[in-house]
Amino acid sequence: MSAVVFARHQITPAERLRDAGWVAFVALILGIPLIGLTTVDAGGSLEVSTRFGLLAACVVAAFGGRLGLRWMIDTMGARKLERQRADTGKSVGISPVKVVNVIGWIALGASIALPIMYSDNRYVVDTATTVLIYVMLGWGLNVVVGLAGLLDLGYVAFYAVGAYSYALLSTQYGWGFWEALPVSGGLAATFGILLGYPILRLRGDYLAIVTLGFGEIIRIILVNWTEFSNGPNGISSIPRPTLFGLEFSRSAAEGEQTFSTFFGIDYSPMHRLIFLYYLILVLALLTHAFVSRLRKLPIGRAWEALREDEIACQAMGMNTTNIKLSAFAIGAMLGGFAGMFFAARQGFISPESFTFTESAIILAIVVLGGMGSQMGVVLAATLLVLIPEFGRNFSEYRMLLFGAAMVLIMVWKPSGLLSHREPTLRLSRGGARNQDALEEAAQ
Amino acid sequence: MSTLLSVCELTMRFGGLTAIDQLSLEVPAGKITGIIGPNGAGKTTLFNCLTGFYKPTTGTLRLNHPTRGELRLESLSSHRVARDAQVVRTFQNIRLFPKMTVLENLIVAQHNVLQRASKFSIAGIFALPVYRKAEGEAMARAETWLRRLKLERLADHAAGDLPYGIQRRIEIARALCVNPVLLCLDEPAAGLNPRESAELNELLLYLCGEMGIAILLIEHDMSVVMNVSDHICVINYGRKIAEGSPEKVQNDPQVIKAYLGEDDEDDADDASGGIAA
Ligand SMILES: Nc1ncnc2c1ncn2[C@@H]1O[C@H](COP(=O)(O)OP(=O)(O)OP(=O)(O)O)[C@@H](O)[C@H]1O
Ligand SMILES: [Mg+2]
């Protein structure tokens, strides 16, 4: 297999052909059982028949595809190098920060206007709400993975804790959405610290494995502890959030008013959807403001320093235990809020909503967006929710499309869509001075 | 002359290997103490024991802190050595926060002061005056050291992208921002050009002369150690083999032997020349 090269140097046409040849060979070996042989129903009994024509076509496609992919990667790499060479020396025209800021404001405007423009389109509002849930989850996980550099593969556990604590508090004890909000967040944060303690000494792969286990433990407890969580059947009729006591239903409970009667408008089921959309939008924006502010505070800088070099942190007198636990707690709390919103929106939750796949998607959002980048998360969450939606037309090829899109993005931008890091504070305000200084230093 | 740190019969074993063997050493306050020795002598291990990264097998490390009294470094964890005992170190293989800017590196070094002022981040989030004042002071301190180490024009560059010699300087500036009473430098001149090491000499003399910071200096570059150290301790195979003023140590036959190996008797004269260089 070593013949399939990822060489940094310029490769010759012969090498290219050999590389593509190897890939075609692998495709052939895999293809014989997968494509070449098939079973057909011959009047009650199964018979094996061959499809070598199709197999040959697939092998040729693999050969051509590999050749094309290599060529594309190489030319893009070369062009990037050239651009880098051209960039050094002269200062950059438009700063990436400004572009990202402008995109951010446009996205904000669009997200406020969206339910007004699509006020009768249930599908659009629902999908947009899903995007925002993932944006919020991405921002929460960004604290743990993007800033503190602690690879967490079990983030969904905190999402589940938030969802179940609201579901149980509301159905068992009659708590409303707003009273339950701080409690759910607090419980999720407590779980974050509980998970944090045993894994303080772990890093990288080991950390990932333990957090993965933690996510599964929570899910398995929810499945098996029937008296507590109602097991695989889940919890239904979770009350929906109200707007200062106004319900979004056709008829109100005794002594209460509904949203439509209070404002004297006709009842429409869309009101609730639009309200939920704005609710998650506000929660997400608060999350964003909170995390962006923390990043500029000692705690946020400590998280980033921890990601960069834990030993250096200790040598600077920083208590890395507290720093790690605070990252876990805050990340978990934000996940808990998102989970709680999820429960309130669905009205029904079961352990099936909290599988490892969810964790993987949230992590993919953070990595694809560019570790630590807040706007990157928005972009990646939008892509990751919308691509499978658009892919519905392609029915069974949907996930294939999804995978291909992810691979392409990672080939095109290996460090994420928006990987630029903006300093948390600055000494000077001019970029030109810095350029001079660097040249001076290089001499 | 008062003693700041006394290392008493320190031993550090890794399985069967004794990296430090019954080492005793006194570090005077406000002076530069050089530590030299061939590769693998145990110099970095000594620093690791001192700064809480390794727990010594046996022995004591007593620090006479100017305001906090006697502290036993061997019983403190690494972050408390820096925070409470104010013994701060740099690393042989530079350990900066590479993606953060130079200024951010220096601000992170003042984490404890700022974190306390931010009152669990609440005063920080609302930018209350207590926090703003602390942040202003931290910036001022960082700026002072940036200026003193001629780094202010690079303040907003990512630390990891800068040349090696500058990274060494940043690491020293960052350690100074922790406000050390004892500064432990592990080969600060490694990879520096002659002009840069001359500047380093000047900086070290300024730090102990003007600022009163005691310095423990591990160095292979003899032009640095011999010129700035008040006192030198030579280690080989984890044992102290000689101690005294630079002149005394340079002419010590034990030292010459350690640097050249036991068998090369005839090269001994060259050796003393080499060390003095
Ligand atoms: N964590 C460890 N585990 C096992 N052995 C170690 C460990 N740390 C150091 N050693 C060993 O202890 C001995 C002393 O190492 P040390 O790094 O202190 O040498 P040094 O004097 O700093 O050398 P150099 O001049 O090359 O930096 C070496 O033999 C080294 O292999
Ligand atoms: Mg060493």
Of all protein residues, the one whose alpha carbon is nearest to atom 3 of ligand 1 is B14
Identity at A401, one-letter amino acid code: L
Average pLDDT, stretch B175-201?
Answer: 93
Contacts of B155 in chain A (CB under 8 A): 426-428
Among candidates A293, A308, A317 on the partner chain, residue whose Cβ is nearest the Cβ of B82: A317
Q: Evaluate if residue A431 carries a pLDDT over 50.
A: no
Q: Evaluate if residue A433 carries a pLDDT over 60.
A: no
Residue B42 CA: nearest ligand 1 atom is: 18
The C-alpha atoms of residue A69 and residue A67 are separated, in whole angstroms, by 6
Q: Evaluate if residue B209 carries a pLDDT over 60.
A: yes
CB B148 within 8 A of CB B81: no
Q: Evaluate if residue B276 carries a pLDDT over 70.
A: no
Quick one: pLDDT at residue B204? 94
Top mean-pLDDT range of A124-128, A329-333, A369-373: A329-333
In this prediction, residue A430 has a pLDDT band, given cuts at 50, 70 and 90, of very low
Average pLDDT, stretch B219-227?
Answer: 89
Q: Evaluate if residue B263 carries a pLDDT over 60.
A: no
pLDDT digits (tens, 9 = 90+) for A19-38: 889 999 998 988 888 888 88
Interface of A with B in 312-371 (CB under 8 A): 312-320
- Checking A379-384 for CB contacts under 8 A at 24+ apart, the result is A379/A417, A379/A418, A380/A138, A380/A416, A380/A417, A381/A131, A381/A134, A381/A135, A381/A138, A382/A131, A382/A135, A383/A409, A384/A134
| Domain locations along chain B | 1-86+180-277, 102-178
Give B12: exposed, middle or buried? Use CB within 10 Å, 0-12, 13-18, 19+.
buried
Class of domain B1-86+180-277: alpha beta
Higher pLDDT among residues A255 and A301, named by residue:
A301
In this prediction, residue B188 has a pLDDT band, given cuts at 50, 70 and 90, of very high
Which residue from B10, B11, B13, B17 has its CB within 8 A of the most atoms of ligand 1, so it is best to mutate?
B17
Q: Which two tokens stand for residue B63?
A: 């620090």
Q: Which two tokens stand for residue A121?
A: 């389109």
Average pLDDT, stretch A114-138?
Answer: 90
Ligand nearest to the CA of residue B39, numbered in listed order: 1
Q: Evaluate if residue A168 carries a pLDDT over 90.
A: yes
Q: Evaluate if residue A316 carries a pLDDT over 50.
A: yes
Contacts of B53 in chain A (CB under 8 A): 311, 314
Quick one: pLDDT at residue B75? 93
Give A423: exposed, middle or buried? Use CB within 10 Å, 0-12, 13-18, 19+.
middle
Contacts of A316 in chain B (CB under 8 A): 79, 82, 88, 108-109, 111, 174-175, 178
- Checking A438-441 for CB contacts under 8 A at 24+ apart, the result is A438/B154, A438/B157, A438/B162, A440/B153, A441/B154, A441/B162, A441/B163, A441/B166
pLDDT digits (tens, 9 = 90+) for B148-168: 999 989 999 999 999 999 999
- Which parts of A249-397 fold into alpha helices (H)? 259-263, 269-295, 298-308, 310-315, 320-346, 356-369, 374-390
Say how many C-beta atoms besides its own lie within 10 A of residue B169's C-beta. Answer: 24
The sign of the CA dihedral A283, A363, A124, A233 is negative
Give how far A383 is from chain B: nearest CA, Å.
27
pLDDT digits (tens, 9 = 90+) for B3-29: 999 999 999 999 989 999 999 999 999
Give A92: exposed, middle or buried? Use CB within 10 Å, 0-12, 13-18, 19+.
exposed
CB contact under 8 A, B153 and A421: no
N-terminal to C-terminal alpha carbon distance within chain A: 45
Quick one: pLDDT at residue A213? 92
In this prediction, residue B112 has a pLDDT band, given cuts at 50, 70 and 90, of very high
B236 lines ligand 1 (CB under 6 A): no
Quick one: pLDDT at residue B1? 64
Average pLDDT, stretch B179-191?
Answer: 94
Say how many C-beta atoms besides its own lie within 10 A of residue B162's C-beta. Answer: 21
Q: Kindly state the percentage of chain A with pLDDT values over 70.
A: 88
Say how many C-beta atoms besides its own lie within 10 A of residue B266's C-beta. Answer: 8
Among A292, A304, A427, A433, the residue to mutate for chain B (most B Cβ within 10 A): A427
Which of helix, strand or coil describes residue A376? helix
B45 lines ligand 1 (CB under 6 A): yes
Of all protein residues, the one whose alpha carbon is nearest to atom 4 of ligand 1 is B14
Q: Say yes or no: A86 contacts chain B, CB-CB below 8 A.
A: no
Contacts of B82 in chain A (CB under 8 A): 314-317
The sign of the CA dihedral B45, B51, B54, B59 is positive
* Phi and psi, residue A120, nearest 5°: -115, 10
Lowest mean pLDDT among A224-238, A339-353, A386-400, B33-47: A386-400
Question: What are the beta bridge partners of residue B235?
Answer: B240
pLDDT digits (tens, 9 = 90+) for A257-306: 777 777 767 777 788 888 899 999 999 999 999 999 999 999 999 999 99
CB contact under 8 A, A425 and B157: no
Q: Say yes or no: B183 contacts chain A, CB-CB below 8 A.
A: no
Distance B172 CA to ligand 2 centre (A): 17
Quick one: pLDDT at residue A32? 87
In this prediction, residue A436 has a pLDDT band, given cuts at 50, 70 and 90, of low
* Chain centroid to CA B114: 24
Q: Evaluate if residue B177 carries a pLDDT over 80.
A: yes
The C-alpha atoms of residue B129 and residue B135 are separated, in whole angstroms, by 10
In this prediction, residue A93 has a pLDDT band, given cuts at 50, 70 and 90, of low
Cα atoms in the Cβ-side hemisphere of radius 13 Å centred on B241: 22
Tokens 């690079």 — which residue? B154
pLDDT digits (tens, 9 = 90+) for B52-111: 999 999 999 999 999 999 999 999 999 999 999 999 999 999 999 999 999 999 999 999
Residue B15 CA: nearest ligand 1 atom is: 4
The C-alpha atoms of residue A298 and residue A308 are separated, in whole angstroms, by 15
Domains defined along chain A, listed by start: 2-85 (no CATH), 96-412 (1.10.3470)
Taking all residues of chain B, what is their mean pLDDT, rounded to a whole number?
Answer: 90
pLDDT digits (tens, 9 = 90+) for A401-421: 777 877 887 788 778 888 888
Average pLDDT, stretch B169-175?
Answer: 95
Q: Evaluate if residue B269 carries a pLDDT over 70.
A: no
B55 lines ligand 1 (CB under 6 A): no
Among A316, A426, A433, the residue to mutate for chain B (most B Cβ within 10 A): A316
| DSSP 8-state secondary structure symbol assigned to residue A428 | -
Q: Evaluate if residue A322 carries a pLDDT over 80.
A: yes
Higher pLDDT among residues A317 and A267, named by residue:
A317
Tell me which chain A residue has its CA closest to the CA of residue B160.
A308
Contacts of B170 in chain A (CB under 8 A): none
Lowest mean pLDDT among A204-208, A330-334, A426-430, B203-207: A426-430
